Chain A
């Protein structure tokens, strides 16, 4: 196992180098350059200014020198400065956008995976009834929906017609007037508090599952759940730092409802169908028949024996989705005026802001590599049949 992990880590480093190099050169060979694109069409900027800008950004140097300098700086932790937000460091820009993207898309991801898994599990279990057909057709219909159109329909319904939810953006500027925090501080606080509550919730469920006493298990499950939920609310209502930030966190959460709902409705069917097919396959296994023959309750057969095994491809897909969550969703971000990593990727490539684009892509590359690595390890943990042996 250790040898396997070491080999995979070396492969990842090599692959990342190749990825970085290819990305840099792909962006470099795009026609034009950042300066020309910025100044074209503006006769107010004299040609001399272009020369100054090229020199300032280092674009007047030979390509290999530029690449060498970039790589040298990159591995010293310096991702350079953005050409289009000069002289802002790329790391600062990514740090500004990342929390927004993480909070929105992780929330959406967890929601639609949860909804999709539950729906898939029930569909497989109650195969053939009318509900299955309705949910499947509805889910697939939503899955094939054109996202911008659907998002605008949802905005029209919930924000214009019903006036329940905000139109777009991630905060209400008038509510944030003179706010003592930056939005990113609130995003990060939201992220950590929710993460801790979720981990507590998961841990209580996990420990409860390991106990042999049913009563103790139930106590642990409910007690842990109550603690996690109570802790979550206690933080926002009982702790000074949470109280001060609560109204702002609430505002962000309020603005998240509609995009999360849209992303969930659009995406849950994919997970649902994946779970359903995986579950159907599992239900044909002999050990399910054995479990039933033993007289175990249906719920136990479904949740403990079938769903657990059916979880494998869903968990794999989830880990890979988490790894790529930081590229956000360009369309979702645009429609809901939620400028995050997706917007950075598109705008930096279009404006040939090479340091920013490569910086953003490198984050995605690193997370994708880690995601694949985790999936490989996870497979072995979840399914003993795939466990790696020394013989490889």
Chain B
């Protein structure tokens, strides 16, 4: 019995191994030899410039075997293997923009069309479906406003059919049918909530009232208010457009959004160079390159000024201003791969091992790789590393609704004590870098370099002196004033009995921060802030708190006075309208907005209103800079630090650029232009 059992197990094991290694004559599709294909990737130049479209049709029309004898003319032959850290949750592109707005879905689901789009690596807004190099201006139209956009001809869906104005109208009407949908649709296609022109006071009803196809290549978008840059083109212009022919019948049969989202989108027409063909839940997702992609062979040259030169069929257009500065990227649009396979690794160490062993070519992760893995990756001979700025920030927020956080000198004095460079370079060991403005330096166009940290460049002794002076100037007093003891290199005695200018005593305060298990950096930061506050006589306790608990207390707060200070982080977008969204009084989190500090400053609100109406980038940038300066002075937030985004990839890959805000992951690891040698 025992012998038999052992024999059975052994045989079963051998059979499985043999079967796994063996060919399956019954399933020819599965026996295609990807390994040989991988080695046949041609240089991108061989596929460039499809000057004669007729040539592109030949492979489908001609059956002669001679065609097969010219492998050098086959444009795509390699498999791009990417690792992702979580399974996609839907294959439906509508759901992926709403309830399933997860980055993992964004990575794998081929993109839809939009009128304008961001162009890497500068994130310049350039035409996608629109024909005009610059977004046309909104004009008064009857009771409301409208913009008429001409569309490019020759732009096609992945099934080869042209993308027209009717698709844009269909998309908007679908959103309208389901009462605006939710998630990203709410910002990309804000729905006008009534037929009357909206007033400035009535922000919630402002939006798009209609999208009409004037003809196949002209679309008219109507608004019930005068939109500024933040809405047109930065929201509506970038909003996704879906194909009517495929989704129309599904929408007709879907009484509610839930039914629409339940429909499978695998293989649905899209506007990228790939079709989604296979999703094995929990294991992998596969996209295959189109035989004919409308933009294949186009030439892009991106300058550091943000300008983009685009050449298609011999005609060159310039977008985003005058070319100037360095050439950041100069490449031909692909695809130069035959397919992209996204494998799921649920453990980062396992994923890095897969990368070093050559099982995958690139790891896609919005947070990049842990800094601790960097040396391991650098030691691997077959890997390259790209380090980029993240478009985000970790910050300390004060609840300005309650004393003493309501007092600017209090906020400023505590901020003065926070030595961000010391924290980043010494305590956090260089794994982070300090930031001072609400727009990170990596977002070059919008970044305000004039913003400095409170008490920047001062020594600990000077910081204590400055903080004490800030309090004194504002009329605050101590029973025991803090004094810097040079001999002990510490504050001795620490401040005691700090009272406000009206004699108000400071109640015990709590700083909520993620615990070390969730984020050791922010947890460490909170302990130092507690210590610095203690030096000044502020009774502050740093409390390691679960992420969900902090979120529950501040987004939106059940009790707006239920917290004192907290540390969290934001991931940001290239267009930094968050600078206003986070601090204008009409977006107070008690009202459901993102102004968690409850900050209210009429001067700031006035700037926000100007920003709403701004029509040009230059105007908007000036307002952003002013707003950033106000916040840096008034400090409802203290921006703390950011971490670089570390990405690793096989040295067999060639990207047209690797320096880009938020890393290559933010542009989907450039599947459309990457080449594999």
Contact = CB atoms under 8 A, between A and B. Distances in A.
Interface of A: 30-33, 36-53, 56, 81, 84-88, 96-97, 100, 114, 118, 152, 155-156, 159-160, 167-171, 173-180, 182-183, 194, 197, 201, 205, 221-222, 225, 228-229, 232-233, 236, 240, 243-244, 246-251, 253-254, 256-257, 333-340, 343, 350, 352
A88 B99 CA distance: 11
B353 A247 contact: no
Given A42-B101, A51-B592, A229-B11, A244 B184 contact: no
Contacts of A229: 4, 7-8, 11
- Which 3 A-B pairs have CB atoms at the shortest separation, nearest pair first? A250-B19, A253-B16, A247-B24
Contacts of B571: 41-42
A173 B32 CA distance: 12
Interface stretch (B134-142, B175-183, B634-642, B646-654): B175-183
Given A31-B553, A33-B552, A170-B282, 18 more contacts: A30-B548, A31-B548, A31-B552, A81-B258, A85-B89, A159-B353, A167-B350, A167-B357, A168-B350, A173-B343, A201-B5, A221-B4, A246-B22, A248-B27, A250-B20, A251-B20, A253-B17, A337-B345
A257 B13 contact: yes
Nearest to B29: A178
Interface of B: 1-2, 4-5, 7-8, 11-13, 15-24, 26-27, 29-30, 32, 34, 79, 81, 87, 89-90, 95, 98-101, 179-187, 204, 257-258, 261-262, 277-278, 280-284, 286, 341, 343-347, 349-351, 353-354, 357, 359, 546-549, 551-553, 555-556, 568-573, 578, 581-582, 587, 592-594
A225 B569 contact: no
Nearest to B25: A243
Contacts of A246: 19, 22, 24
Overall SS of chain B's interface: mixed
Given A41-B571, A179-B30, A228 B8 contact: yes
Contact of B182 (A52, A197, A228): A52
26 contacts: A36-B548, A36-B551, A36-B552, A36-B555, A39-B555, A41-B571, A43-B570, A43-B581, A44-B573, A45-B184, A52-B179, A85-B89, A86-B95, A152-B349, A167-B359, A169-B283, A173-B286, A174-B81, A177-B278, A201-B5, A225-B8, A233-B15, A244-B26, A251-B19, A254-B19, A257-B13
A179 B578 CA distance: 46
Contacts of B22: 246-247, 250
Contact of A222 (B4, B286, B569, B594): B4
A86 B95 CA distance: 8
Contacts of A168: 345, 347, 350, 353-354
A244 B27 contact: yes
Contact of B4 (A53, A225, A335): A225
Contacts of A244: 24, 26-27
Contact of A87 (B27, B181, B262): B262
A370 B99 CA distance: 37
A46 B98 CA distance: 12
Contacts of A100: 282
A233 B592 contact: no
A152 B376 CA distance: 15
Contacts of A85: 89-90, 100
A247 B19 contact: yes
B353 A250 contact: no
Contact of A337 (B18, B280, B346, B552): B346
B102 to A, nearest CB: 8
A85 B105 CA distance: 11
Contact of A46 (B20, B21, B79, B186): B186
B212 to A, nearest CB: 25
Contacts of B30: 175-180, 247-248
Contact of A49 (B17, B186, B570): B186
A38 to B, nearest CB: 8
Most B CB atoms within 10 A — which of A52, A228, A236?
A: A52
A169 B280 CA distance: 12
A175 B31 CA distance: 7
A97 B282 CA distance: 8
Contacts of B354: 167-168
Contacts of B569: 41
